[in-house]
Structure formats: C-alpha cells, structure tokens
C-alpha cells in the first residue's frame, strides 16, 4: 500500500460499496464525535459541512450537563442557547472504516457557524496550528505513538451492568514479548491489523504485554497530524472489533490494582525542509545535535504545565505516580526506561527521543500539541537540558514541580505563562474548568476504596 492508496474520493463511495459516511472530530477527551451521513448525501456535507452541538466540547466524560447549565463557558451554555458548530470534512482523511461493513469515515474540523473560523478549542485545530508554526520555521516534525491497552473476555454491556466486576483478562500470566500467549488471539489481531491497513492505519509491531490481559500495538512513524488521526481511529477500531468479538478493551491508564499501567509513548524527531535529520550529529557526544538538546530541554521544562494533557484523568496519576517505568519528573537519559525522555537511535534516520509520561487515556491531538509546542519553545530559546540521568531515575528525589494529581495539573496548566501566551485565556480557562470539575466530582464520590478502608475500622 502506498501512502494514499487507502483514501477515497466522494465520487467513489457508492461504487466502493459504501453506504454510510461517518463525519467525526475529536472531542476534548480524544473521543470521536460527529454524525452518520448516507453515502448518497455526502456531497451536501462536503459543500456545507454538518452541524453538531457545541456541548460536545463542554460536557464532561459522562456527558454531564452541569457546567453547561451553570453558564461557566463562553463557548456554550444557557446564556447563548447552546449553539451549533459546523464540522468541515477534511477530504484528505476520507477512507474506508474496513472493520465496519459498508462504512467510510472522514475526519473533520469544527468551525464557527457564522464566521467559518476554526474553533480554537478543537484538539485537531490546535495541532494543525502548532504544525503551521513549525512550517513557518522551516521545520518538519515527525512522530509515532505506541499504545497499550487491556483486553477482557467479558462483553462491555456485561461489565457495565455488573459494575465492572469479575473481569476476565485475555492473558492470565505476565506475557511480555511471549509468542505462545499471543498466538491464542492471533486470529482476532490478524483481522484487526488487516482492517486497519485497509483503512490506512499501518501497524509496525504488536505484542502481548506484562500485565494480565495487556497488549500493545505500535504505529508507523510519520506526520503528527496523520499520526493523531490514525491513533484516534485505531482506538475506535479496537473498541468496535473487541465488541464484535464479545470482548472489551479499555484504554484507562491503570485499570487494575497490582498490574502495570498502559502507556502512550510518543517518539519525536525533526527534519529540515529539505529532509535533513536535524537530531543527528556526526561529531557531538552521543550523536545528539544541539537542536535535539534544545527540543528535549523545552519538553522537560514545560512537562509540569502540560500534565493536564499528558495525564488528563483522575486515573492517569495511578500510573504516573507509580514506579512502573511510566516516566519520572523532568528527567532524560540514553536508552533508559526509568526516565521521562528516553533518547534512542544509533543512525541518523533512527535518532529520536521517546516521551514516556503520557498514558493510554491521553488525547493524542493534545499530547502531540503540547509536546511539539514545548519542543519548539526549546528550539527558539535554545534551552539546555538538565544533566542526563544514568541509572535508576526513581532513586532521585521527587520533582516538586510535577503535579501529583489532576487538581494540581489543572492549576499548573492554568498558571503557566507559556500556555496562556500560546493558547489564550479563554481556551485555557475552558480546560481548567473541565479539569477542576472532574476533580470535584471525584472528591465528592464515596468509592469502594473508602468503604473497604474505613467502614468498620473507624
């Protein structure tokens, strides 16, 4: 398959057996929202777009309406009638959703209904705007994500009905890199990989992981926007394929006690406009160019500010606060899995760094936006990273600047001058309100942990 063999043209849909086109865009949690269009009516959507309610960018993960009804957002609330926003299809993403029968999917960008201006809050719009800043500098970023998830033999309806108890993991023993354990589910993953490839989502490798029921698949390296699009479509395909097989996948950062979290490691490198590998130096120590050091320093400096995007849920911090090689503070090293930024590669075409802090629950558009913005700032200011860590980073003192939970992450995000200058007060405030709401809901909820810990002991 060449780069664009998977793409469809609107005029080809009916002949290709497509009956439904999903027009979708990522919400602030990274989930795809949108509408289903009969294939014969897709031309009208190409011309006019399709409207969705702005509430999709304002409610919480449970689609709670409390914040909308409280009129705390400028974007939408009862004060302005909860207006629509128009999804404009990006025809460069129109492809067959091969894991679904007769369905194509086209990613879209939300624009203001009246002005046609891109919605500043849209994660896909934010990533495109950051990529435009790189283009102005004559730089071409490259990225790749590695995404882990847990797969359970239970159906999703069964699990939600019984309160997510009696989980049956698809592997029962640690199986990291083990072939035999993976073979049991090879028919499932083989079909999934084939469907993904037919949908333009190329996987580089897959494996069973150390956690019971945990799996990993890695994406082909490429342009960050295409990478984020593949990532979000992949998650949708995994959920759909699992449900069709009577199973359930979760991308929670840490779904089980006593088991490792699921990561979203992000690999990053930089090219010049003429294709030169800018992170490589023939003469520098460890072959790390000055630009690579600058970019790495920017990522580390701004890591506390962007934890709200890298670790966006309450559960995220069950993983990031662990010692399960999930990154540690503002640290970096050479091929060292205990640090947050791991430098890898022994040839110019392979030289990159791997950002290990984000979990599988991250919104890929926002994580890539934050990572790219931080690296760009490091390049523009020619920052120098702290000393490299050799050995176990977890033996170092905790970094006091790093948020330990979501409320601290929200405060760090909202107070960061770089975040405010880059995205504006309205956008930052919108995210802050949602993050604080998530923390407040959590704080007000009595959990099984509370009961088990205190019920008959206090």
pLDDT in tens, 356-401: 999 999 999 999 999 999 999 999 999 999 999 999 999 999 999 9
- Residue 1 has a pLDDT of 43
> What was the pLDDT predicted at 175?
84
Cα distance between residue 126 and residue 427, in whole Å: 10
Predicted confidence at residue 4, as pLDDT, reads 66
pLDDT higher than 70, residue 87: yes
The residue that leads in pLDDT, 3 or 62, is 62
Nearest of 313, 229, 194, 218 to residue 267 by alpha carbon: 218
User: Domains in the chain and their CATH numbers?
Assistant: 10-118 (3.10.20.70), 131-454 (3.30.590.10)
Residue 85 φ then ψ, to 5°: -130, 150
CA distance 454 to 448: 10
The pLDDT confidence band at residue 110, using thresholds 50, 70 and 90, is very high
Query: Does pLDDT of 206 surpass 90?
Result: no
CA distance 20 to 39: 5
pLDDT band at 205 (very low <50, low <70, confident <90, very high): confident
2 pLDDT above the threshold of 50: no
Calculate ∠ Cα 384-385-386, nearest 5°: 125
pLDDT value of residue 5 = 75
Cβ–Cβ under 8 Å, residues 93 and 231? no
């Amino acid at each position: 398959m060449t780069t664009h063999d998977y793409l469809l043209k609107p005029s080809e849909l009916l002949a290709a057996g497509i009956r439904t086109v999903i027009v979708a865009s990522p919400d602030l949690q990274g989930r795809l929202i949108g509408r289903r269009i009969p294939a014969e009516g897709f031309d009208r959507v190409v011309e006019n777009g399709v409207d969705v309610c702005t509430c999709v960018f304002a409610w919480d993960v449970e689609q709670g309406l409390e914040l909308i009804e409280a009129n705390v957002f400028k974007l939408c609330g009862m004060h302005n009638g909860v207006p629509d926003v128009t999804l404009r299809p990006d025809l460069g993403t129109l492809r067959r959703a091969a894991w679904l029968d007769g369905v194509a999917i086209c990613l879209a960008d939300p624009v203001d209904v009246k002005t046609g201006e891109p919605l500043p809050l849209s994660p896909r719009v934010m990533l495109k705007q950051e990529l435009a800043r790189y283009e102005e500098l004559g730089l071409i970023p490259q990225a790749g994500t590695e995404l882990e998830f847990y797969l359970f033999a239970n159906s999703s309806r069964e699990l939600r009905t019984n309160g997510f108890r009696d989980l049956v993991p698809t592997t029962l023993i640690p199986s990291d890199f083990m072939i035999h354990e993976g073979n049991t589910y090879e028919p499932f993953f083989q079909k999934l990989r084939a469907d993904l490839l037919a949908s333009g989502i190329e996987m580089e490798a897959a494996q069973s992981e150390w956690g019971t029921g945990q799996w990993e698949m890695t994406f082909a390296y490429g342009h960050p926007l295409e990478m984020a699009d593949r990532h979000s479509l992949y998650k949708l395909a995994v959920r759909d394929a699992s449900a069709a097989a009577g199973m359930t996948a979760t991308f929670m950062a840490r779904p089980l006690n006593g088991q490792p979290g699921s990561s979203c490691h992000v690999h990053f490198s930089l090219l010049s406009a003429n294709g030169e590998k800018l992170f490589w130096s023939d003469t520098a120590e460890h072959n790390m160019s000055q630009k690579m050091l600058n970019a790495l320093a920017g990522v580390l400096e701004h890591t506390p500010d962007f934890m709200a995007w890298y670790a966006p849920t309450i559960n995220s911090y069950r993983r990031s606060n662990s010692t399960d090689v999930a990154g540690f503070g503002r640290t970096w090293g050479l091929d060292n899995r205990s640090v947050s930024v791991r430098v890898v590669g022994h040839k110019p075409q392979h030289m990159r760094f791997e950002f290990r802090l984000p979990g599988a629950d991250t919104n890929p558009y926002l994580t890539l936006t934050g990572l790219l913005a931080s690296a760009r700032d490091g390049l523009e200011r020619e920052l120098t990273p702290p000393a490299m860590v050799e050995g176990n980073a977890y033996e170092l003192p905790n970094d006091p600047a790093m948020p330990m939970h979501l409320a601290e992450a929200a405060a760090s995000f909202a107070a960061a001058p770089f975040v405010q200058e880059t995205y504006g007060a309205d956008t930052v405030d919108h995210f802050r309100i949602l993050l604080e709401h998530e923390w407040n809901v959590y704080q007000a909820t009595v959990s099984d942990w509370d009961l088990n810990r205190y019920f008959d002991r206090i």
